[in-house]
Every structure is written in structure tokens, then in C-alpha cells.
Amino acid sequence: MEEDLFKQQMRAFDRWKTELIQVIQDYHHWLETQGKGTADINVRLFDVIDSLKSDHLTIAFVAEFSRGKTELINAIFFADYKRRLLPSEAGRTTMCPTELFYDHAEDHAYIRLLPIETRLQEKSISELKKDTEQWKTISLDINSPDQMVDAMKAVINTKNVPLQQAIDLGLFHDDSPRRRKTDQPPPKEIEIPQWRHALISFPHPLLQQGLAILDTPGLNALGTEPELTYNMLPNAHAVLFVLAADTGTTRSDLDVWEYYIKEHRASGDKGLVAALNKIDTLWDEMKSSDEVSASIENQRQDVANSLGIEPGNVFPVSAQKALLAKTKDNPELLDKSRLMALERYLANEIIPAKQSIIRDNIVNEIGGLIKNERNAIAAQHKQVKSQLNDLKSTSGKNTTLIQHLMRKAREKQAAYNNNMEYFQSSRRSLNQQAKLLFNELSLKKFDNVAAIARKQMTDSWTTGGLKNGMKTLFDGIRETMCISTRHANETHQKIISIYQKFEKETELESLDPKPFSTERYDAEINKLYEQAEDFRSSPVTTMTEQKFVVKKFFISLVSHARDIFFQANQEAENWFKDIIIPLAKHVTEHKQLLEQHMETLYKINESKDNIASKTAELESQCNKLADQHTSLDNMHNKLQNPIEVEVEADSLKVVNA
């Protein structure tokens, strides 16, 4: 049977990341052997390697319950276990959001379950993830599929609790419209999920290569955990919305789509796909295959119309039959399930998009460092070459000429010293300026703003209080972003003038000090603000006025904004290092070359050295610099390498029907 294209792409993606890591390690090694490594740069390089190693490509599966999300995950990713790995049963459905990935740090298989009672705490799920004590961990025995399947069943556990407890946990609202209609007394006990969130670390090759899957529960559960909607879903690289052919597009399907997906994928349709699952329910022995295809096509069009997306982004599939086909090695059935078209889409659209994000970041970060280093080497090369030419021009021992050269060299040194003084004094004021920037973007500053906003919100849990609190938070954030931009611009102006001075004197070309921009973070904050506005005006909030959800929402909102702030702060610090360290290094190296030249001329003048041996020395120095230049060039080029997939002819056969 054809090997899944998604797997091939994912493997190629992983290989590509490994090669990137190799280039960064090569660069690190190069710096060390040249004696150019510094603690700062080392930390930066290790950070980037770490982030590449722990990088995830996240695909979220979202739908009303029982549309077959879990079955689809089983069929796409885990069919090679020849069984249904994640529990998907009629009548019982995933109760808590479940993340599947591989935890390289722990390096073993486990399920970690967060008790539902943690909803009472004022901590976001992302904060709780760092607090493993609060989770129940079950080890998975990967040699025993039975044990694994059994253990995974825990994610669908529920329990009955007294009504008041369910209310305290924000899992029951007395004003639910359904109950109001029937006018029944509230029940004494309520069935609630036992777990709030599940993390499954599992050594499947795809997960080890960095795939992460987020399986979500249905509409009700989505509403009770805003962090899922406002943080995890927007951060996923792809969202797969699942509908079922037997139920058609229902009101609650559309609610999930409107409130939980569409609004939060501002980037347009990119990474947003719909699967029309359970097409096997349309298979009908009494109909010709053309008739069946026509009715599937009709439903596909209907779905596209009601969601307002391209029909090409709606994939009719049968997860159940696909899983069966893969388990029993039945290519005809797999073909009929149409799963491969969806897999191809995921492979061809999602992975390359994710790759380009990584590439942009890495090329920016590491590529910039390598380029600066290469430019500095180029400048030194030029300097040594001109010294070499000087020497060569003094064929024989022409005293006047040598003395003329010495005078020239002395002038250069004097000019250099002038620049040096300027550099030292500007560096001090530059550091002060940068400090203002870092302070403005500090977490302390952020926490102050957040504390005021939180107070406004908790003092009055009304829509008005919520609105004021949100306004305070976002106004505060925007103001500090604005001030940061001003500080960054002033710092940048100062740096440009220093660079310009040095450029003339030291042949240091195109060491472009790039500006620091908060634009990216502004955009993220604005997006967050829009989400907050949506949330405030969404029926979920206004209908039920759920204190609980609002509080949870605020916790996740603040923790998300804080993350953005933290990133901005980190980037500002790195930016400053990137523009100041290469210049400082280059200035020192330039000085050494000037001194070396003076020394040479002096010795020749005193007949302590002969020109031929000095020329040879300089020539070898020139070659060394040229070699270094080539090495750096190669590393820089390797960073731009594309992903290479060996596509097997087979996988091109099945055409998207």
C-alpha cells in the first residue's frame, strides 16, 4: 500500500531541521576554533538549537461531539498500530482536550491528566503544564498495545458530583435555556469530566518528528475552557473542522465554526480545512457509484456554502473505513474512504507553511550572525590585502617609501583612536538608552498594568467591569509598546551614526544595523484585543453572564499577553547584542591588524626582518581569511536549503476526487 505522503513530508521536515541544527553546530564549532566564541553567542546558539529540537507542528481537530475527530486521528496517524488507539466509541466521547506529542525531555511514553478540580485555581493551563505535581501521570507500556489502549481510555472518564460542586467548577449553569424550557427542577447530581486536560507523550515517529495533535471535545466543553479557544486553537498551525455526513450541518456545528474557529483564524482560510466525515453512511448498494459520488459532491457543496469556504477545502472522508482499510491492508477500501486526499492536503499545505515560518526565524537570527561575521572577515581580508600591496610595492629596501608607509599607518592609528574614544563614550549612552527599552518591555511593568486591570475586573464581574479592565490592560500594553518603539528608534539612530563613522575608517561594509520593531508584537496584541472583544460580545458571555468563564478567560488572556511581552523583551535584548557585539569585536580585530602592520614596517625599516618572509606571512594570512570567508558563505547558504522529499511514484497515483 502507498506510504502516506504526510509521513514522507514529515520525515523530510525532520531531516531538514536536523540539518539546520548541524549548520548551527558547525558555526558554533567554527567560532570556538577561531577563538571567537563568547558566552552570549553560545547561549543564543543553544537556545535556537533547543527551540528547533522542541519545535512542534500542531494540528487541532475541532468539532461538535461524535463527528469522528478521534476516529480521524486514529486513521490518519495511528493506523500502523493495527487497532483503534484512542478511544472512539458510540455514545462516549472525548471529555477533555487531549494533546498528543512526544516529550523528548522525558523521553518515555506517558499520559498526564489534570484533575478537573484545578479549575478552581487561578492558573492557566499553560502555567499548570510546568507544575507536573498537579497532574496524575500514568506510564505507557509501548510494548503492550492493550495496556496503552486501556490507559488511554482514562481521557473519557467522567464522574457524578453534587450539583453545587458542578456549579463551583463552572460546569453547570442554572439558566441553561434547555432547562428553562422544560421547567424541571435542577438535578441533584451532575456528570462531569474527571479530567480537565490530557497530555499524551507517545513515541510514534510522527510525534517524535515534531507533530503535535490537539483533540478537542464538543461545543459545551469548548465553552468552559476559554484558553483552548483563545490560545491553543489560534496557535495551532492547522485546524481541521469535522462534520459528519449522517447528521449534516447542524446549528451546533455552525456555532462551533462561528465562535471557536472562524473568528480566530484571521489569516484567512490558510491552515483551515473541513472534513466531511462518515461518507460511508451515504454508500448505498442500491445506487451506482456515480450516484453515490454525486450525493457526496452535493453535501460537499452544501458544507462549503454554509461555512463560506472553497469546496476544495472540504474533504469528504470516512475515518472509520480508512482505519479499517489501513488495518486490514485493503487498498480499494482506502481509496473509497478518500482519506488520502486529506492527508495529501495536510502534507502539501501545512508542512511547507510551517517550514517557511521556521526558515524566516532562523535565517533572520542565525543567518544575521553569520552574515555579520562574514562581512567582518571580508573587511579584514581587504585590510590585509592592502597591507600586502604596500609591502610588495617596496621591492628592494626603499627607505623613503617605508618611512612614508609608516607615516600612513600612524595616521590610520590616530584616526582609529579617535573613533575608539567616540565609540566608548557612545557605548555608555547607548547602554543607558537600551536599558530604558528593556525596562519598558519588562515583565514587572506588565504585571503592574495587569494587576490594575485585574482589580477592575474582579471588583465588578459585570460586562461593564470587564470592559473597563480590558481597556486598562490593552491601553497599558499599547502605551508601553509605543514608548518602547520610541526608545528603540533612538537607540537605532545612535548606532547608525557610530557605524557610519567606523565604516569609513575600517572598510567595514554593509554591517547593516537592523532596526528593532515592535510591529509583530503590536499585531499580536491587536489580535488578542479583537479576540477579547469577540469574547465580551459573544453569546457565550452575554447569554449566561458566567463569572467563571470570564475569570478563566481573563487568566488565559493575561498569560497570553504576558508571553507576547516576554518574547518582545527577549528579542529586544538579542537585537541589541546583535548590533553591538559584532562592531565591538570588529573594532578590536581592526586594531590588532593596524598594530601588526606598524610592527612589520618597523622591523623591516630596522632590517630586523626581510620583506620576502613578511610578504609570505601576509599571503598566508590572506588565504586563511579567504578560507574563513568561504566557510561562512557555505554555512549561510546551507541555511537556505529547501526541504527535500523523496516522493514515491505510488503516492501520486490517487487523485483528489
Ligand X SMILES: Nc1nc2c(ncn2[C@@H]2O[C@H](COP(=O)(O)OP(=O)(O)O)[C@@H](O)[C@H]2O)c(=O)[nH]1
The stretch near Mg ion (CB under 5 A) out of 68-76, 111-119, 258-266, 532-540 is 68-76
Quick one: 217 or 316, whose CB is closer to Mg ion?
A: 217
**460 φ, ψ (degrees, to nearest 5):** -140, 110
CB of 69 to ligand X, least distance (A): 4
Q: Where are the beta strands (DSSP E) in 458-537?
A: none
Give whichever of 71 and 227 is closer to ligand X, judged by the CB atom.
Answer: 71
Q: Which does 359 bind (CB under 5 to 8 A by kind): ligand X, Mg ion, none?
A: none
Decide whether 246 or 258 has the Cβ nearer to ligand X.
Answer: 246
Contact assessment for residue 555 and residue 123, using Cβ atoms and an 8 Å cutoff: yes
DSSP state of 122: S
Percent composition of the chain: helix, strand, coil (DSSP 3-state, to 5): 65, 10, 25
Q: Which does 569 bind (CB under 5 to 8 A by kind): ligand X, Mg ion, none?
A: none
- And the C-alpha cell for 114? 489534570
CA proximity to 487, closest of 544, 430, 442 = 430
Instruction: Indicate which of Mg ion, ligand X, none lies near residue 68 (CB less than 5 to 8 Å, by partner kind).
Output: ligand X
Which of Mg ion, ligand X, none interacts with 320 (beta carbon under 5 to 8 A by kind)?
ligand X
d(CA 79, CA 258): 32
Q: Which of 94, 201, 556, 621 binds Mg ion (CB under 5 A)?
A: 94
Residue whose CB is less far from ligand X, 71 or 373? 71
- Residue 281's binding partner out of ligand X, Mg ion, none, with CB under 5 to 8 Å set by partner kind: ligand X
Residues numbered 110-169 forming contacts with Mg ion, rule: CB under 5 A = none
Spatial distance between the Cα atoms of 450 and 457, rounded to a whole number of angstroms: 10
For residues 244 and 66, is the Cβ–Cβ distance under 8 A? yes
Q: Closest distance between Mg ion and the C-beta of residue 68, in Å?
A: 8
What is the 3-class SS of 204-229, one letter each residue? CHHHHCCEEEEECCCHHHHHHCHHHH
Q: Are 60 and 233 in contact (CB under 8 A)?
A: yes
Q: Which CB atom, from 278 or from 487, has the smaller least distance to ligand X?
A: 278
CB of 286 to ligand X, least distance (A): 18
> Which one, of 307, 261, 306, lies nearest residue 534 by Cα?
261
Return the one option of Mg ion, ligand X, none that residue 71 interacts with (CB less than 5 to 8 A, by type): ligand X
Residue 14 touches which member of Mg ion, ligand X, none, C-beta under 5-8 Å by kind: none
Minimum separation from the CB atom of position 90 to ligand X (A): 4
- Select the binding partner of residue 89 from Mg ion, ligand X, none (C-beta < 5 to 8 A, by kind): ligand X
- Shortest Cβ 187–ligand X spacing (Å): 23
Interface with ligand X (CB under 6 A): 63, 65-71, 88-90, 93-94, 277-278, 280-281, 318-320
Tell me whether residue 196 or residue 359 sits nearer to ligand X (CB atom).
196
70 binds Mg ion (CB under 5 A): yes
574 binds, among ligand X, Mg ion, none (CB under 5 to 8 A by kind): none
Residue 156 Cβ vs Mg ion, minimum distance, rounded to whole Å: 8
Whole-number Å distance between alpha carbons of 82 and 91: 23
Shortest Å, Cβ 233 to ligand X: 16
Beta-carbon contacts of residue 300 (< 8 Å; ≥ 6 apart): 276, 311, 314, 316
Least distance (Å) between residue 175 CB and Mg ion: 28
Whose CB is nearest to Mg ion?
A: 94
Residue 610, phi then psi, degrees to nearest 5: -105, 155
As measured in angstroms, the least distance from the Cβ of 434 to Mg ion is 50
Residue 291: count of CB within 10 angstroms of its CB? 12
CB of 66: closest distance to ligand X in angstroms? 4
Tell me the one-letter amino acid at 355: Q
Q: Cell 543553544 identifies what position? A: 46
Judged by CB under 5 A, the stretch of 66-74, 220-228, 494-502, 605-613 that binds Mg ion is: 66-74
The residue among 283 and 602 lying less far from ligand X, judged by its C-beta, is: 283
Instruction: Yes or no: say if 528 and 561 are a contact pair by the CB < 8 Å rule.
Output: yes
If binding is defined by CB under 5 A, does position 66 make contact with Mg ion?
no
Residue 194 cell numbers, joined: 474527571
Q: How far is the CB of 556 from Mg ion (least distance, A)?
A: 22
Of the candidates 243, 14, 19, 204, the one whose C-alpha atom is nearest the C-alpha of residue 103 is: 204
Rounded least distance, CB 346 to ligand X, Å: 17
Quote the cell numbers at residue 272.
Answer: 483551515
Vertex 232 angle, CA 231 and 237, to 5°: 115
CA distance 38 to 31: 9
Q: Which stretch binds Mg ion (CB under 5 A): 94-102, 161-169, 252-260, 415-423?
A: 94-102
231 belongs to the binding site for Mg ion (CB under 5 A): no
Q: Angle 455-458-461 (CA atoms, 0-180°, nearest 5)?
A: 140
66 binds, among ligand X, Mg ion, none (CB under 5 to 8 A by kind): ligand X
Distance, in Å, from the CA atom of 586 to the CA atom of 14, rounded to the nearest integer, reads 36
Instruction: Name the residue with the smallest CB distance to ligand X.
Output: 68
- Asked whether 641 and 634 are in contact (CB, 8 A), the reply is no
C-alpha cell at 602: 618597523
* Nearer CB in complex with Mg ion: 215/373: 215
The residue whose grid cell reads 497530555 is 199
Q: Nearer to ligand X by C-beta: 212 or 242?
A: 242
| Residues of the shown chain interacting with Mg ion in the complex, contacts defined by CB under 5 A | 69-70, 94
